[in-house]
């Protein structure tokens, strides 16, 4: 019995552990495969449209492309502004979560948990219906168009997630960094801003970019509340073409394609940064 | 009463410290005079780190007194930053700031805490690099240095604040045997320059050589203490004898 375990042990120890390189990773050809699948899916529809007197699917799509692209740029604008706002608010909230003041800490924690555990669509609805359509301050009337309200609505979950990213990065640093800095007579603010946070940026970047990708894809939720982003416009375009069912797949494939072309490089870069930072620290 | 340097530099009296229900220090007292080197030895978990971390207020404590140059550390109105300017500390795990080069690590605190002029600080830092024998490594990041080199940067970083007392918490325990000596040599140089040092160490040969006084702690109390010759060669308490028997 003892002998056997002795024989088995070295074998088990030699079994190579999966190295990071062996794990699943996005590669450029994954993207190509997806594009090919999209195109292949639209081919039957394209052939179905050979009925004379009806314009070909491709021609119709090309005709609508500028409008759809405009809608998509709108999605990007919403995503960037929601990300900027959510990041600012989330960074403040994240720092609140590590505050020495228990009231601030509790408040930041509850706010973070509340918005992190709420469905994005529900938050979006709240923002749409709770925010007024215009804002009056100092006799000035600032209109709040739907897309701006949607931006606020999407910034809420981003804020909560950024708050957790910040808190997580700060607590993941070894406590020795705090102790060394404190024993050098740095004040708490100096420790945080000069020693801890600069080291956290590296750790925060990949999850932050990940969050941005998720947010970008979530901007289509704004179509449900009537913002004229790419999904809304696609629906309108299809309606204008008389609701031809053969157009559905090509049109939505085009939307998929747009998101893919935008989000895929971000995903690649995130993976690259993750790898780079994993080696260095 | 005004503190003068004929009074103890650090005076610890009946120090009690608990973590929750666990009492880690049960009435520890010791005096360290200016220029003295004392070594604290004892089994793991006996409260050595906790004790020296109380001296620079990294740990609080429940009762007793620590005077550093006459200033009470147990005072609720204590200015911790002022205290820490006087007390340097070096850790087992070096704890260098990984996003800064060796010389930046050394320059940061004098620049940001003491607000000294950049030229002066840079001159000081270059001098310290030389003192710890790391010329040529100024612009290396901690990740590019060996453990022994990192630890010497950590010592220089602490010295840059021009402290009156240095605390060393098992600073060679994480090092490869080959690099232990280069760090010990740096501490030996410091001791010879007259720096007041409180060292927690397992390097018995080194303790015997540099220490003016040795304290042996076990389970939160000082079991025995004395000058190295008496301590090592004529220990009386059975716990000390057993510990020395295991280690030597
Ligand atoms: N932050 C802490 N919280 C709770 N217990 C602690 C903490 N730090 C140390 N201890 C406990 O205090 C005792 C003494 O620890 P320490 O001072 O590190 O001993 P030593 O340095 O002599 O090995 C140990 O039992 C340890 O588990
Ligand atoms: Mg210890």
B172 CA to middle of ligand 1, Å? 19
Ligand 1: which atom is nearest the Cα of residue B170? 21
Contact A186 B109 (CB under 8 A): yes
In chain B, the percentage of residues whose pLDDT exceeds 90 is 89
In a domain, B223, yes or no: yes
In chain B, which residue's Cα lies nearest the Cα of A188?
B81
- Residue A174: pLDDT above 70? yes
- Domain range for B133 is 10-247
Give the model's confidence band at A7: pLDDT under 50 very low, under 70 low, under 90 confident, else very high: very low
CA A8 to chain centre: 47
Closest residue in A to B82 (Cα) is: A185
The domains of chain A are located at: 58-134+141-280
CATH number at residue B22: 3.40.50.300
Decide if B112 and A199 are in contact by the 8 Å CB cutoff.
no
Question: How many domains does the structure of chain B reveal?
Answer: 1
Q: Residue A39: what are its φ and ψ, rounded to 5°?
A: -65, -45
Q: Is residue B22 part of a domain?
A: yes
CATH of A58-134+141-280, one of 3.30.360.10, 1.10.1200.10, 1.10.3720.10, 1.10.3470.10: 1.10.3720.10
For helices A57-97 and A102-116, give the axis angle rounded to 10 degrees.
160
Residue from B93, B125, B173 to probe the interface with A (highest A Cβ count within 10 Å): B93
- What is the reported pLDDT for A53? 61
Radius of gyration over alpha carbons of chain B, in Å?
18
Please name the helix (run of DSSP H) or strand (run of DSSP E) that holds residue A175, with its range, or none.
Answer: helix A175-183
pLDDT for A83-134, tens place per residue? 999 999 999 999 999 999 999 999 999 999 999 999 999 999 999 888 888 8
**Shortest-distance Cα residue to atom 4 of ligand 1:** B19
Answer yes or no: is B2 within a domain.
no
Residue B95 domain flag: yes
- State the Cα–Cα distance between residues B42 and B199, nearest whole angstrom: 12
Chain B residues in contact with A186 by the CB 8 A cut-off are: 109, 112-113
CB-based contact A200:A91 (threshold 8 Å):
no
Q: Is residue B183 part of a domain?
A: yes
Contact: A185, B161; criterion CB under 8 Å: yes
In this model, does residue A11 exceed pLDDT 60? no
Cα(A150) to centroid(ligand 2), Å: 54
**Which residues in chain A have their CB less than 8 angstroms from residue B87's CB?**
183
Angle at CA of residue A12, ends A6 and A18, nearest 5°: 165
A44-53, A159-168, A198-207: which has the highest mean pLDDT?
A159-168
Find out whether A270 and A210 touch, Cβ atoms under 8 Å.
yes
Report the pLDDT value the prediction gives residue A228, as an integer from 0 to 100: 87
Q: B5 lies in a domain?
A: no
The answer to whether the CB atoms of B81 and A185 lie below 8 A apart is yes
Q: Which residues line ligand 1 (CB under 6 A)?
A: B 19, 22, 24, 42, 44-50
CB B73 within 8 A of CB B66: yes
Q: Find the ligand nearest to B41 CA.
A: 1
Q: Nearest-5° angle of CA B235, CA B241, CA B244?
A: 105
Model confidence at B77: pLDDT above 60: yes
| Distance set, CA B191 to CA A162, B37, B207 (Å) | 49, 7, 12
Quick check: A179 and B95 CB within 8 A? yes
Report the Cα A111 to chain-centroid distance in Å. Answer: 20
Over residues A189-214, mean pLDDT = 94
pLDDT confidence bin for A16, thresholds 50/70/90:
very low
Condensed to tens digits (0 to 9), the pLDDT of residues A130-161 reads: 888 887 888 888 888 888 999 999 999 999 99
* Nearest residue to A125 via CA among A27, A228, A223: A223
Q: Which ligand is nearest to the CA of B23?
A: 1
Confidence of residue B2 (pLDDT cuts 50, 70, 90): confident
Instruction: Say if B21 falls within a structural domain.
Output: yes
Q: B46: CA distance to ligand 1 center in Å?
A: 8
* Averaged pLDDT for residues B22-32: 96
Q: Is the pLDDT of residue B87 over 80?
A: yes
Residue with CA closest to ligand 1 atom 12: B24
**E runs forming strands in B183-241:** 196-200, 213-218, 221-226
Picking from A181, A184, A188, A197 by the largest number of B CB atoms within 10 A of its own CB, the best residue to mutate is: A184
Spatial neighbors of A206 by CB under 8 A, at least 6 apart, are A270, A273, A274, A277
């Amino acid at each position: 019995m003892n002998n056997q375990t002795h024989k088995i042990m070295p074998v088990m120890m030699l079994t190579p552990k999966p190295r990071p390189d062996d794990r699943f990773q996005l590669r450029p050809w994954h993207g190509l495969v997806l594009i090919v699948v999209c195109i292949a899916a639209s081919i039957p529809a394209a052939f179905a449209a050979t009925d004379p007197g009806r314009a070909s699917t491709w021609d119709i799509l090309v005709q609508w492309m500028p409008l759809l692209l405009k809608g998509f740029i709108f999605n990007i604008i919403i995503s960037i502004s929601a990300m900027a706002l959510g990041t600012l608010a989330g960074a403040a909230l994240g720092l609140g979560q590590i505050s020495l003041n228990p009231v601030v800490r509790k408040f930041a924690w509850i706010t973070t948990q509340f918005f992190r555990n709420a469905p994005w669509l529900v938050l979006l609805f709240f923002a749409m219906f709770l925010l007024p359509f215009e804002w009056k301050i100092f006799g000035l009337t600032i209109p709040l168009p739907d897309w701006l309200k949607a931006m606020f609505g999407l910034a809420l979950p981003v804020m909560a997630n950024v708050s957790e990213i910040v808190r997580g990065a700060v607590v993941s640093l070894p406590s020795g960094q705090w102790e060394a800095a404190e024993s050098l007579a740095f004040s708490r603010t100096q420790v945080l801003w000069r020693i801890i946070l600069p080291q956290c940026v590296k750790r925060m970047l990949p999850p932050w970019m990940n969050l941005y990708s998720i947010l970008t894809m979530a901007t289509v939720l704004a179509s449900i509340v009537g913002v004229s982003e790419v999904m809304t416009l696609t629906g309108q375009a299809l309606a204008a073409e008389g609701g031809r069912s053969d157009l559905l797949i090509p049109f939505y494939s085009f939307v998929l394609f747009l998101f893919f072309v935008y989000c895929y490089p971000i995903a690649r870069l995130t993976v690259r940064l993750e790898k780079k930072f994993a080696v260095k620290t | 009463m005004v503190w003068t340097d004929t009074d103890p530099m650090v005076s610890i009296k009946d120090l009690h410290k608990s973590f929750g229900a666990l009492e880690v220090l049960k009435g520890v007292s010791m005096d360290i005079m200016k220029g003295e080197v004392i070594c604290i030895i004892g089994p793991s978990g006996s409260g050595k780190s906790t004790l020296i971390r109380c001296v620079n207020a990294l740990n609080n404590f429940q009762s007793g007194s620590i005077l550093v140059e006459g200033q009470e550390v147990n005072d609720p109105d204590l200015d911790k930053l002022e205290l820490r300017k006087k007390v340097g500390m070096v850790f087992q795990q070096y704890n260098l700031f990984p996003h800064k080069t060796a010389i930046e690590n050394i320059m940061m605190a004098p620049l940001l805490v003491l607000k000294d002029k950049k030229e002066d600080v840079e001159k000081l830092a270059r001098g310290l690099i030389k003192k710890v024998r790391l010329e040529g490594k100024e612009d290396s990041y901690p990740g590019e240095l060996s453990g022994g080199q990192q630890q010497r940067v950590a010592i220089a970083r602490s010295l840059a604040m021009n402290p009156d007392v240095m605390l060393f918490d098992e600073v060679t325990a994480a090092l490869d045997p080959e690099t232990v000596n280069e760090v010990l040599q740096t501490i030996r140089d410091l001791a010879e320059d007259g720096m007041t040092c409180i060292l927690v160490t397992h390097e018995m040969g080194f303790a015997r050589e540099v220490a003016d006084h040795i304290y042996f702690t076990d389970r939160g109390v000082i079991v025995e203490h004395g000058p190295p010759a008496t301590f090592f060669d004529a220990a009386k308490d059975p716990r000390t004898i057993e510990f020395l028997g295991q280690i030597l």
